[in-house]
Chain A
Amino acid sequence: MNPARRRGPPTGLRVDLMIIADMVEEGSRVLDVGCGDGMLLAHLSRAKRVDGRGIEISQAGVNACVAQGLSVVQGDADRDLDAYPDDSFDYVILSQTLQATHNPRKVLECLLRIGRRAIVSFPNFGYWGVRWQLLLRGRMPVTDTLPENWYDTPNIHLCTIRDFIILCREIGITIDRRISVTHEGKASVFHSTGFLANLMGEQGVFLLSRNAR
């Protein structure tokens, strides 16, 4: 999960990861699901002194994380979230991973069972560049955030920003912040269903919490 979709120098943080990091409060407890090589966790531990944990599907990623002193286990968002108790984290982060899960709806519900809040980022399939490739070329889109061809992509549940907002509404998740990120890396906060955000955003980043009942 979480293939390298980085911009800028390898030491710099991906744009969506910077936005995510900004959403996390200092000193909180964070679980990063699909933490890759630990770039975000390492940043959060340093910059925000969080008590961070990670789950990563690739063994190479896990070993890289543990080798730099991060607490990471090998595991899978679909299978291994069940083991975690309710409310055990302040934030559960799922960056660029939702679209690769078998059951995104269940995973989302799990995130907000384990964490008081969840932060989710994903490539927006409603992005104009994607629509353009489908509409005019009749081909499955290949973009910076969706770099693989249809036959070797890990992404099996792609969605648009709008789809995501509707799913959150259906399963009782409150969206506290919604941000779209353009191809150039420009982030903008939007509101409601975000017609423009869904067209212009190459990816979406969402801060979520449970509906107050």
Chain B
Amino acid sequence: MCDTAVTPGSSVAGAGRTVPQGGDSNGPRVVLGVEAPLKLECGAELGPFTVAYQTWGTLNADKSNAVLVCHALTGDQYVLGTNPITGRQGWWPFMVGPGKVVDTDRYFVICANVLGGCMGTTGPKEIDPETGRPYGLGFPVITIADMVRAQAMLLDHLGIPDLFCVIGGSMGGMQVLQWAAAHPERVFAAVPIACAAKHSAQNIGFHEVGRQAVMADPNWRGGDYLRYGVNPRSGLAVARMAAHITYLSETALHQKFGRSLQDRDALSFGFDADFQVESYLRHQGSSFVDRFDANSYLYITRAMDYFDLAADYGGSLAAAFAGTRTRFCVVSFTSDWLFPTAENRAIVHALNAVAANVSFVEIDTDKGHDSFLLDEPELFETLRGFLNGAAEHRGLNGGGGSEG
């Protein structure tokens, strides 16, 4: 998949300036907030700041076929193709690509690394221009709304007035909801998957465990580890191990591992990874720290914790969507205990209360929260129907790329 088949922003005089890509292959980056900084929810101002993003497909003449993919907590802009950081396949090849539900032959697909991330967009590991050192904990606390504002600025830069669709799972779904609430006129269709309009106490609890694990690692050094040339690897790995359990389900873990032993015939009567599940989680933890920044993990989990869409609208979630003309498709998974169906249904009820155009499907699967990343034919079948229906209303006729 070649990225940047077009560079639609080049003609749009900019809200930002494109950064020369130099030798690295990390894709396009743009510096935004040069003229006016981004006002963050916490009161701080950020700017100029960088957003790293990827695109696939071609923007049509009407600029009506843009799809924004929002990534989850530990995701990035490398939706498909090879991720240059990890050397592994992008994170959503089942959903996005030529002939897939989010069809890159038909739509212009954009995905940007979120604000606070560590894949090229400004976050705590980047250099603070004021001090010349990495931000560390000097980076302002950001929110889902801030992430979405940064994405909106990216669209302004790219010259894309509005989006045919915003789609994402988990924290990506939160961004989808924020987009639909804050910029209803820029969102034709919204697909929040396996998410919630507010982060639950249980989920805040899990995140706090992860953050405490990071901060308890002596190498964290009060967030200044980059200055000391160390990395809180074990703390971040433990955070990832705990979080990874929440992304699966008891059934999935049981079917995958049961009580099977790892490379041995008997218990060791010690604290080695006797069980396959232990070995698996250790691997998940250690491979995660190779690609993710510990402080970014703190900041992005915090952004999710702070998310409570109704709170911004006088406590009424319905008010967040009042008068919306966006077409919604809310998706949940039966075995997702992180963002259970009830939380997704609450979004549906709020949309019903404002007579919004909403579909809601619950996919029957035992694979847990991470189902949205996996090969779930029923998920694709229903979303394909939803997007085709929306494309018809948008005047994007089927039959690859004939529009425009």
Contact = CB atoms under 8 A, between A and B. Distances in A.
A66 B359 contact: yes
Interface string A164-202: 000000000000000000000000000000000000000
Given A80-B349, A84-B353, A69 B389 contact: yes
Contacts, number: 72
Contact of B361 (A53, A59, A68): A59
Given A67-B381, A69-B392, A53 B360 contact: no
Contacts of A207: none
A28 interface: no
Nearest to A67: B385
Chain A contact patch, size range: 20 to 34
Contacts of A53: 357-358
B323 to A, nearest CB: 12
A72 B329 CA distance: 9
B355 A67 contact: no
A69 B386 contact: yes
Interface of B: 327, 329-330, 345, 348-350, 352-355, 357-364, 378, 381-382, 384-386, 388-390, 392
A71 B358 contact: yes
26 contacts: A63-B363, A65-B359, A66-B359, A67-B381, A67-B384, A67-B386, A68-B385, A69-B386, A70-B359, A70-B389, A71-B327, A71-B359, A71-B389, A72-B359, A72-B360, A73-B348, A73-B358, A74-B362, A80-B349, A83-B349, A84-B352, A84-B353, A84-B355, A85-B354, A88-B355, A89-B355
In the complex, the 5 A-B pairs of residues with the closest C-beta atoms, listed nearest first: A69-B389, A67-B385, A73-B360, A88-B355, A83-B352
A59 B362 contact: yes
B358 A66 contact: no
Contacts of A75: 348, 360
A110 interface: no
A63 B381 contact: yes
A66 B352 contact: no
A62 interface: yes
A71 B328 CA distance: 9
Contacts of B348: 73, 75, 83
A80 B361 CA distance: 15
A74 B360 contact: yes
> DSSP class of B's interface residues: helix, strand, loop or mixed?
helix
A204 to B, nearest CB: 29
A79 to B, nearest CB: 10
Contacts of A83: 348-350, 352-353
Residue of B353, B355, B359, B362 with most partner-chain A CB within 10 A: B359
A69 B355 contact: no
Contact of B378 (A63, A71, A80, A88): A63
A88 B358 CA distance: 14
A86 to B, nearest CB: 10
Contact of A66 (B345, B350, B386): B386
Contacts of A66: 329, 359, 361, 382, 385-386
B353 A85 contact: yes
Residue of B352, B362, B381 with most partner-chain A CB within 10 A: B352
Contacts of A88: 355
Nearest to A54: B359
B226 to A, nearest CB: 47
Nearest to A52: B357
A61 to B, nearest CB: 11
Given A62-B360, A63-B361, A69 B385 contact: yes
A66 B358 CA distance: 10
Contacts of B359: 62, 65-66, 70-73
